[in-house]
Structures are given as C-alpha cells and as structure tokens.
Amino acid sequence: MKILSANAIRKVDAYTIEHEPVSDYGLMQRAAGALTEWLLERIPSGTHVVVLAGSGNNGGDALVAARLLMLSGFSVSTYCCHHQVTVSPTCIIAKDALLAIPDADCKEVAGRDFFPRIESTDWVIDGLFGSGLNRPLQGLAVDCVQLVNRSGATVVAIDVPSGLPTDGDFVVDPELCIHATYTLTFQLPKLSFLFAEHELLTGEWSVLDIGLNRNAIENAETSFHMITHDDAAALLHQRAKFAHKGHFGHALMIGGSRGKIGAVVLASRACLHSGVGLLSVHLPQGGELVLHTAVPEAMVEADQNEKYVTHVEISGKHNAVGIGCGLGTHPQTAKALEDILTRAICPMVIDADALNLIATHPELKSLLSANTIVTPHPVEFDRLAGKSSSGAERLENARQWAVDHQCVVVLKGAYTAVINALGEVWFNSTGNPGMATAGSGDVLTGILLALLAQDYDPFDAARLGVYLHGLAGDLASNATSQEFLTAGVLIDFLGSAFKKMQKE
Ligand SMILES: NC(=O)C1=CN([C@@H]2O[C@H](COP(=O)(O)OP(=O)(O)OC[C@H]3O[C@@H](n4cnc5c(N)ncnc54)[C@H](O)[C@@H]3O)[C@@H](O)[C@H]2O)[C@@H](O)CC1
Ligand SMILES: [K+]
C-alpha cells in the first residue's frame, strides 16, 4: 500500500474528479459519508457533537458530516473558524447545504468570545485543517485547538489532526495541534502518523476508502509504502516436495558473551523455527553447554575464549551469517567483527552489539557489503549515524545511510521501516506494544538470518521477516495478552504466523 505526499494526493483527487463521474463536491460527500458511517457506529446516542470547520476542503468535509449527523438525529453545534479570507468554493456549497436544514446551528467564530463551550461528554469533529496545512498554526486557530485539547472531549480528526503536517515536513509543537482520540484519514495512510512523537496527536488512526482512482494511485510516484498482508504473503517462497535440508541453507549465528548467552539461544531458536536447513552457532566457550541443551537442533562452534567471541572461522559452507545478539563490545570481539566483515562474502544480518561496535569503530562501515541487513533500534541508529531531533529526521538519515552504505536498513519501532539501497521505505503494519520486551530483537535477527540462508533477496527477507515477527506478536497477544508476551512466546507463535502467510 502506497503512502503518498499531500501534493500527490491532491493530484490523485484531481485525476479522480477529471476522469470519473464525480464532482469536487461529490467526492467531499463521499468522504463525509464514509466518516459519518464510521461515527454512527460509535457515537453513543444522545451525544452532543461539536463540529469545527476551517476554510478549506477539510472544513467542507466537516460541514457535510455535520449535516449528515443532524439528519441522523444528533444534536450538532457547528462553528466555522475562517483562517483566511478566501473560503474554498466546495466548503461554501457544503455550508449552504447545512444551512438549508431547519434548525441548523452554525456559527462564525470571529474571536475568542465566540468559542463554543465544550463538555467532556461531547464529541468534537475536527475539520479545521487537513492535508492543505503548510505551516504551524497561529492566532485564533491555536486558541481553538487548545480549547479542544483541554476539554477532555472525544476528538475525531478528519483526515489529519489540525496542526499536523501530512508529510511530517516541519516539527510540530504538540501545543499547536489537535490531540485526536481518533483520526480518520482518507484512502491511504499518511507519513506523519508513523512517527512515535505524533502518537499523542493522531490517537488511534484508521483509513477510510473514498474510491479515489486506482490507476492514479498506481501511477503516483512515492518512496514510501506500507507492507500489507498480501505484499508479505507474495514474498514467501514455496517449499518443494522433494526438498531436503541442504535446499534451505546453512546459517551461521555469531553472538553471546558472559551473561548474555540467552540472546543467542533466542535468536537460534527463532532461526530454526523460520525454515532454515542447518544452523551453526559460534559463541563463547562458556555458553556451549547451555546452547546444546536449549537448542539441540543447532551445531555449536565454541570460541577459544570462555567469556566473549574472539575469532570466528568463516568458510564457504555458510549461506548467511548473523552477528550481534548478546555479543558484547570487548576490543577482541571488535577485531573478530572486522575479520568477519572482511572475509564473509555471503549475505549478513548485523544487529545489537555488532552495530554498537561499528558505531565505535566507524572504519568498519566501509566493510559492509551490499547484501547486508542492519537492524538498529532508534538509539542504536543514532549511535551509528548521529543524533536525530525527530522521527522524520531519523527516517531521512536512515534513508541516506542505506544509500551511502548500499545495504538494507531495518529501523525498528512501532512502524518498523525497511529501507533499501535506493532509499525506498516499506513500513511494517504488524506488531504491538507487547513486543517491547527483552529478546524481541534477537528473535527478529533469527528470522532474518533464516530467510537469508534460504536465498531470499535481503530486501525481501527484511520485509517478510518484520511482517512475520509482528504477526507472531499479534497472534501471541491475541491468544494471551501483551503483558504476558516474552521473546520465547513470540517464537512459539512463529508457526501460526507462517501458516497465515501460506496460500490456502
Ligand atoms: N477533492 C478533494 O481535494 C478532496 C479533499 N478532501 C479534504 O480536503 C482536505 C484538503 O483541503 P484543502 O487543500 O482545502 O486544505 P485544508 O482544508 O487543509 O485547508 C488549508 C487551507 O488553509 C491554508 N493554510 C495552510 N496552513 C495554514 C495555517 N497554518 N494557518 C492558516 N492557513 C493555513 C492553505 O492556504 C489552505 O488554503 C483534505 O484534508 C480532506 O479533508 C476530501 O474532501 C476528499 C476530496
Ligand atoms: K482535521
């Protein structure tokens, strides 16, 4: 699923109006119709609804919704907050249609004294600004937004919360933006919804289909996508009937240090449960017995050192290498990492402490090869690439990093971003806060290593891997609870996640 910029959406809107039997106002009625349908299923009967409409088409949507809610029997008070002299012609049509209803309550807000009284039991429909916002809010709009935010009412934002830039192209002061309980956005998700700092502003968001022209969406250029179930399922390889374990690759997992052997155990278990043929694990000698006991399916190559990894034999027999889980950052481990990066020619997944070592030994970056996946969480990424002041800035830095180092970056978060060497971004759509638990990242590394060993292209492996990882988390939390989730439970649900991806 594409994520389009405000500008690209405007073009798709215009194309739809030009090529389909629908007018500007017709499209607005469709949008407001979808919105009202959503609202009617949720607003408790008898609720007083306060509708705030700006001067643009977002305001027009709000005015149409106000009319539809009134016709459905709700008590609706509508306030027009005109922030500019020219009001959109479609907004004017919508307002005239509202005023044509007997008893329509529609007031102009000429200043603070004209503001509505909002009770905490009210529902507020925010149609002040939509995708046309191009600068931070000022003046009366700010006062209005703050009145809403302090009211305690349930707030439904139309398309985008007023004050939030659709593409995340400027940093928002949360005081200058509606804090929506729900955001109902039209047709496609918006980029700015995917940054952690905007969670408070968007609340729970959902996409409403308003039937924009499919060809126009298909032809619109963008670097941003969301991974849907069908996208991920299409990436899954079928396993041939006569296949044997040699067909599914031999993976090498390198990790562990004293006190952190569990990380390699989790990553190894996840790898074996993700379809790999053979798995060898290189870990400090002290962890050998633990690994043999916890993961009997794996072969163990113990390091000469008891507590940390110092030297790894890299041979042509491995189809993929994973390194970093629980690895530690001992100087001798850094030397070993340099040696591995220099000699390994197979695809690699690099995680956790291996990334921290690269951050403290920047000369190692030049050794990364094109078929590498790096899997930093935001703090690890900032160590690698320097601090970012916002989610949007970090995403741009990660795209640049992927281009500069010609590898796949998996920037982990609520909407994990998988970025290829062209700077194209696919956001994951599965997963839940229950997965914010120790070892969850190790499980992802294990899955990615298994897919790489099975000859998945690194970008495909990363997109399918993050989707499966999140899906296992969703299945696990549905069957138990987010609180109960541990990395081990995630692995237990990997089987069901794979099953959901397979063709019936
Ligand atoms: N035909 C269409 O284009 C459709 C548009 N739809 C709605 O239309 C919205 C976009 O409408 P518009 O493009 O009219 O934009 P908005 O309704 O977001 O209005 C923005 C207007 O305010 C001005 N402005 C921007 N930032 C400002 C600021 N900080 N302070 C004061 N003024 C500011 C802009 O010049 C622009 O004219 C979408 O979000 C969606 O809700 C839907 O009705 C579906 C169909
Ligand atoms: K809005």
Whose CA is closest to atom 2 on ligand 1? 13
Residues paired with 470 in a beta bridge: none
Whose CA is closest to atom 24 on ligand 1? 133
Mean pLDDT of 162-172: 94
**What mean pLDDT, rounded, does the chain reach?**
96
159 labeled part of a ligand binding site = yes
Contact 402, 374 (CB under 8 A): no
**pLDDT tops 80 at residue 215:** yes
Ligand 1 site: residues with CB under 6 angstroms? 13, 24, 27-28, 31, 54, 56-59, 61, 83-84, 88, 129-137, 141, 158-159, 186
Distances (CA, A) of 259 to 220, 264, 291, 328, 486: 51, 11, 13, 10, 18
Neighbours of ion ligand 2 (CB under 5 A): 58, 126, 157-158, 162
CATH number of 229-501: 3.40.1190.20
Considering the entire predicted model, what is its pTM?
0.95
**Helix, strand or coil, per DSSP, at residue 123:** strand
Find the 131 Cα to ligand 1 centroid distance in Å.
5
Contact 106, 51 (CB under 8 A): no
The 10s digit of each residue's pLDDT in 363-410 is 999 999 989 999 999 999 999 999 999 999 999 999 999 999 999 999
Q: Which helix H or strand E contains 425, and what residues bound it? A: strand 425-427
CA-wise closest residue to 59 among 26, 88, 97: 88
The 10s digit of each residue's pLDDT in 416-451 is 999 999 999 999 999 999 999 999 999 999 999 999
412 labeled part of a ligand binding site = yes
**pLDDT tops 90 at residue 296:** yes
**Burial (0-12, 13-18, 19+ Cβ within 10 Å), 272:** buried
Contact 478, 461 (CB under 8 A): no
257 labeled part of a ligand binding site = no
**pLDDT tops 80 at residue 503:** no
**pLDDT tops 80 at residue 85:** no
Classify residue 208 by its DSSP letter.
Answer: E
Distance between CA 343 and CA 114 in Å, rounded? 72
Mean pLDDT of 205-214: 97
Q: Which residue has the tokens 């408070």?
A: 200
With cut-offs at 50, 70 and 90, classify the pLDDT of residue 504.
low
Q: Considering the domain delimited by 6-221, tell me its CATH architecture.
A: 3-Layer(aba) Sandwich (3.40)
Q: Cβ atoms within 10 A of the Cβ of 341, count?
A: 22
Tell which atom from ligand 1 comes closest to the C-alpha of 163: 29
Residues paired with 419 in a beta bridge: 409, 425
Classify residue 82 by its DSSP letter.
Answer: -
**Helix, strand or coil, per DSSP, at residue 117:** coil
Q: Cβ atoms within 10 A of the Cβ of 234, count?
A: 12
The 10s digit of each residue's pLDDT in 179-206 is 999 999 999 999 999 999 999 999 999 9
Pocket-testing residue among 9, 30, 58, 91, ligand 1, by greatest number of atoms within 8 A of Cβ:
58
Distances (CA, A) of 153 to 39, 43, 93, 122, 206: 15, 12, 29, 5, 19
What pLDDT was estimated at residue 38? 98
- Cα-flanking dihedrals φ and ψ of residue 475, to 5°? -65, -40
The 10s digit of each residue's pLDDT in 306-353 is 999 999 998 889 999 999 999 999 999 999 999 999 999 999 999 999
* 319: alpha, beta or left? (left if phi > 0; alpha if psi -120 to 50): alpha
What's the 3-state SS for 249-305?
CEEEEECCCCCCHHHHHHHHHHHHCCCCCEEEEEECHHHHHHHHHHCCCCEEEECCC
Distance between CA 383 and CA 160 in Å, rounded? 32
Contact 207, 188 (CB under 8 A): yes
Q: Which residue has the tokens 């179930």?
A: 229
Q: Is the ipTM of this complex over 0.90?
A: yes
With cut-offs at 50, 70 and 90, classify the pLDDT of residue 82.
confident
- Give domain limits for the chain: 6-221, 229-501
Residues paired with 282 in a beta bridge: 254, 301
With cut-offs at 50, 70 and 90, classify the pLDDT of residue 243.
confident
Locate 205 and state its tokens. 């968001």
Tell which atom from ligand 1 comes closest to the C-alpha of 88: 14
Distance between CA 273 and CA 479 in Å, rounded? 19
Locate 447 and state its tokens. 């899955």
**Helix, strand or coil, per DSSP, at residue 231:** helix
414 labeled part of a ligand binding site = yes
The 10s digit of each residue's pLDDT in 356-374 is 999 999 999 999 998 999 9
Locate 400 and state its tokens. 């640049």
Distance between CA 109 and CA 232 in Å, rounded? 49
Percent pLDDT > 70 in the chain is 100
Contact 434, 482 (CB under 8 A): yes
- Give the amino acid at 332: Q
Give me the torsion for CA of 483, 488, 490, 492, rounded to 10°.
Answer: -120
The 10s digit of each residue's pLDDT in 456-493 is 999 999 999 999 999 999 999 999 999 999 999 999 99
Percent pLDDT > 90 in the chain is 93
Classify residue 79 by its DSSP letter.
Answer: E
**Burial (0-12, 13-18, 19+ Cβ within 10 Å), 84:** exposed
Q: Which residue has the tokens 């790096």?
A: 374
More confident residue, 504 or 59: 59
Mean pLDDT of 212-231: 97
What pLDDT was estimated at residue 240? 82
Locate 270 and state its tokens. 């996840």
Give me the torsion for CA of 321, 325, 331, 335, rounded to 10°.
Answer: 0
Distance between CA 428 and CA 234 in Å, rounded? 15
